[in-house]
Amino acid sequence: MTTRSTGKRTALATAVAVVAAGTFAAGAGVAGADSRGKAGKPAKPVTKAQVLGLFDDWNAALRTGDPRKVADLYAKDAVLLPTVSDNVRTDRAEIVDYFEHFLRNKPVGTKIESVVNILDRDTVIDTGVYEFALTDHETGEKSTVKARYTYAYEQQPDGRWLIVNHHSSKMPEG
């Protein structure tokens, strides 16, 4: 990991913590953001619509039923704090394991509210509220789980956006 990546990860982790606490100010940025793309050409700024589309890609991966396809959307050193597990997942095997269990319930996610913060050309945060329609794999009973979420993404050298931090927690009862 480069010094720039380490610094960005530190800044990203700090930003995610602040967002999760509900105090992130709109328009936050990372000092020293690079205005050039990976190939040295001027990079196009990512748009809010592109960031929102990353969830659509993730949700489509869920619909495949293949936990490896879902895990492919996470960076090698990603952190997953999942909705329906007490375990923090910090590597691919743990992320695959979580989705092996979660996908049994045929989840279909729908965003209810989303706030996108573009930190720089390679780092974005999408946070808000979503819900999942679930079907119990043993009984066929249908249910809906409403949860808060935060996805932190980094653009990879090959141009793909991968999840580096994903936190999801059930909404607190009123």
- Residues ≥6 apart with Cβ < 8 Å to 58: 70, 73, 109, 151, 163
Give mean pLDDT in consecutive 10-residue pieces for the chain, a chain of 174 residues: 53 47 35 47 82 97 98 98 94 97 96 97 97 94 96 97 97 75
What CATH number has the domain spanning 3-21+46-170? 3.10.450.50
Contact 162/156 with Cβ under 8 angstroms?
A: yes
Q: What is the pLDDT of residue 173?
A: 74
Question: And the tokens for 93?
Answer: 């095997």
Q: What is the pLDDT of residue 6?
A: 52
Question: And the tokens for 117?
Answer: 């913060």
Question: And the tokens for 145?
Answer: 């789980």
Domain extent listing, the chain: 3-21+46-170
Q: pTM for the full model?
A: 0.77
